[in-house]
Chains A and B, each alone.
Chain A
Amino acid sequence: MLDKTGIAKRIAKEVQDGYYVNLGIGIPTLVANYVRDDIEVEFQSENGVLGMGPFPFEGEEDADIINAGKQTITTLPGASFFDSAMSFSMIRGQHVDLTILGAMEVAENGDIANWKIPGKMVKGMGGAMDLVASAENIIVAMMHTNRAGESKLLKKCSLPLTGVGCVKKIVTNLAVIEVTDKGFKLLERAPGVSVEDIKKATEGHLIIEGDIPEMDI
């Protein structure tokens, strides 16, 4: 079974040379730490920066340079700043190659819910609805089950949706799964996890074809 860092490491392998990538808050943010250093990738943050670098050294924080999580950041050579409308032109206009975000639930048809739990404090969707409605290539990073042990890969989302039919791939602590027309297709198992374990933790329709290889992290 993977921890959050393991999920980030596995997703990092999906990032290809020349990609512009938008990372959500949480596990997705960690992905930047594990991208191969022999490829060129630029990270976009929807508050208006392309070419995000690491966090600043102490004493070099700048209130005018932050990421979408409102954390102080730095920029790399070749970076650019822009306004919010242009930022979402990059996203809506499908100029961003890969979007990685967290989720509370994903349905077997690719629906995603990640912004609202009715009855609890609603903080808002931020840029998530724009991202999922437009991106061609969306990977969800999440735990396979919630704290109560219930599956987060469902036949149908129970929470209010963020977007419909948009998720293409899911990487969890247990598995790598592709969302197909026919349901969740199991691609890889996490180290030490059996197909049976994944079946038990998946409520939606799980497609298992042939031998399922263990992830190479």
Chain B
Amino acid sequence: MILKTVNSVSDALEGVQDNMTFMLGGFGLSGIPENAIAELVKRNVKGVTCISNNAGVDDFGLGLLLQKKQIKKMVSSYVGENDEFERQMLSGELDVELIPQGTLAERCRAAQAGFPAIFTPAGFGTEVAEGKETREFDGKMYVLEHAFKADFAFVKAWKGDAAGNLIFKGTARNFNPCMAGAAKITVAEVEELVPVGELDPNQIHIPGIFVQRIFQGEKYEKRIEQRTVR
């Protein structure tokens, strides 16, 4: 059995340096790697590029890194809920690349799966396709999009075991499975880390081969962005 467990979030982020590119799972604030983000803030890593669907809110998620001006560039599909983000973007301090959400997912998956690039119809004829190779297949136009290259992927799952196997819960799954194994090192944090053998192999969403380090997060706030009730 190949064991992936590390003792702390600090050990999990061993090797993280300034100017690296990180993938971070999550949709809005759901399923974000809260403990890895807290550790990145603590280490004050600077000049980083973050590939993440969203940029958090002012005082939570990636917003915490933005507050400390640790992020050089964001690659996202939607970044609307964050005043500090807007300020840095408009002042030119922050570089932002907006890409279609499905393209973001598939550029992660391509990196995970060993494809250098993919063709997608999304964005054809729009400014997203400017300067990119396009090609016709069966009468429809597609845009060539390259696999991401990242140093670390930080993903968050519900349960995991010491072998790095992961199970997600609800829509907190989102980009996390696409990013596992898509960077040089994948760090998985889980709400509950169990001994090997406790998870049913039939129920595993992401096999441990895609994960290099796993730890149980100290705590999860799991903040709700838009609490909506009947």
The interface bits of chain B over 160-199 (1 if a CB of A lies within 8 angstroms of the residue's CB, else 0) are 0000000011111111111000000000000000000000
Contact B77 A127 (CB under 8 A): yes
Interface check A177, CB cutoff 8 A: no
Report if A125 contacts B (CB, 8 A): yes
How many A-B Cβ pairs are below 8 Å?
178
Whether A124 touches B105, Cβ cut-off 8 Å, given contacts A63-B222, A84-B53, is no
| A121, B86: Cβ atoms closer than 8 Å | yes
Given contacts A62-B170, A85-B178, A88-B101, contact A126 B78 (CB under 8 A): yes
Contact A92 B222 (CB under 8 A): no
Name B's A-contacting residues (CB within 8 A): 27-31, 53, 76-81, 86, 89-90, 96, 98-106, 108-109, 120-128, 158, 168-178, 205, 222-230
Assess whether B170 is in contact with A127, with CB atoms less than 8 Å apart.
no
Residues from chain A with a CB closer than 8 A to the CB of B100 are 125, 127-130, 133
A159 to chain B minimum Cβ distance, whole angstroms, is 11
Stretch at the interface among A9-17, A44-52, A187-195: A44-52
**Inter-subunit contact A72/B223 (CB<8 Å):** no
The answer to whether A64 has its CB under 8 Å from any CB of chain B is yes
**Using a CB-CB cutoff of 8 Å, which residues 95-140 of chain A contact chain B?**
111, 121-130, 133-134
Residue from the list A65, A111, A124 in contact with B76, Cβ < 8 A = A124
> Which of B80, B105, B158 is close to A123, meaning CB atoms less than 8 Å apart?
B80
13 inter-chain pairs at a CB distance below 8 angstroms, sorted by A residue, are A57-B230, A58-B230, A63-B30, A66-B27, A72-B227, A85-B178, A87-B105, A92-B102, A92-B122, A126-B78, A126-B101, A133-B121, A162-B126
Q: Which residues of B contact A65 (CB under 8 A)?
A: 170-171
A149 and B170 CA atoms in complex are apart in Å by: 43
User: B137 → chain A, closest Cβ, in Å?
Assistant: 13
- CB neighbours (8 Å) of A58 from chain B are 229-230
Bound CA–CA A1/B53 (angstroms): 38
Q: Is A54 in contact with chain B by the CB < 8 A criterion? A: yes
Most B CB within 10 A of own CB, among A70, A88, A126: A70
- Nearest A-chain residue to B113, judged by Cβ: A85
Q: Is the CB of A125 within 8 A of B229?
A: no
Interface residues of A (CB under 8 A from B): 45-49, 54-58, 60-73, 81-85, 87-88, 91-92, 111, 121-130, 133-134, 160-165
Q: Which of A46, A83, A123 has the most CB of B within 10 A?
A: A83
Among B101, B108, B170, B226, the residue within 8 A (CB) of A81 is B170
**CB–CB A47/B76 < 8 A:** no
Residue of A with least CB distance to B110: A85
A69 to B80, CA, bound (A): 11
Inter-chain contact B171/A71, CB cutoff 8 Å = no
Q: Which residues of A contact B127 (CB under 8 A)?
A: 160-161
CB <8 Å contact, B77 and A85 = no
B residues less than 8 Å from A55 (CB atoms): 228-230
Known: A57-B229, A130-B100, A160-B127. A84 touches B222 (CB 8 A): no
Contacts of B168 in A (CB 8 A): 81, 83
- The residue in A63, A92, A123, A128 that gathers the most chain B C-beta atoms within 10 A of its C-beta is A63
Across the interface, name the chain A residue whose C-beta is closest to B141.
A164
Asked if residues B177 and A61 are in contact (CB atoms below 8 Å), the reply is no
Given contacts A47-B171, A57-B230, list 7 more A-B pairs with CB under 8 A.
Answer: A63-B224, A66-B225, A83-B205, A85-B105, A121-B89, A124-B80, A127-B77
**Measured between C-beta atoms, what is the minimum distance from A32 to chain B in Å?**
13
Bound complex: CA A48 to CA B30 (Å)? 11
Q: Are the CB atoms of B101 and A127 closer together than 8 Å?
A: yes
Known: A48-B27, A65-B170, A123-B78. A84 touches B226 (CB 8 A): no
B51 shortest CB reach to chain A, Å? 12
With A63-B224, A91-B102, A121-B86 as given contacts, are A84 and B78 in contact (CB-CB < 8 Å)? no
- Contact between chains at B230 and A56 (CB < 8 Å): yes
- Cα A72 to Cα B230 in complex, Å, equals 10
Q: B117 to nearest A CB, angstroms?
A: 15
Contact among B77, B89, B126, B229 for A61, CB-based, below 8 A: B229
Nearest first, the 8 A-B pairs at minimum CB distance are A88-B102, A130-B102, A123-B80, A164-B125, A64-B170, A129-B100, A124-B78, A84-B105
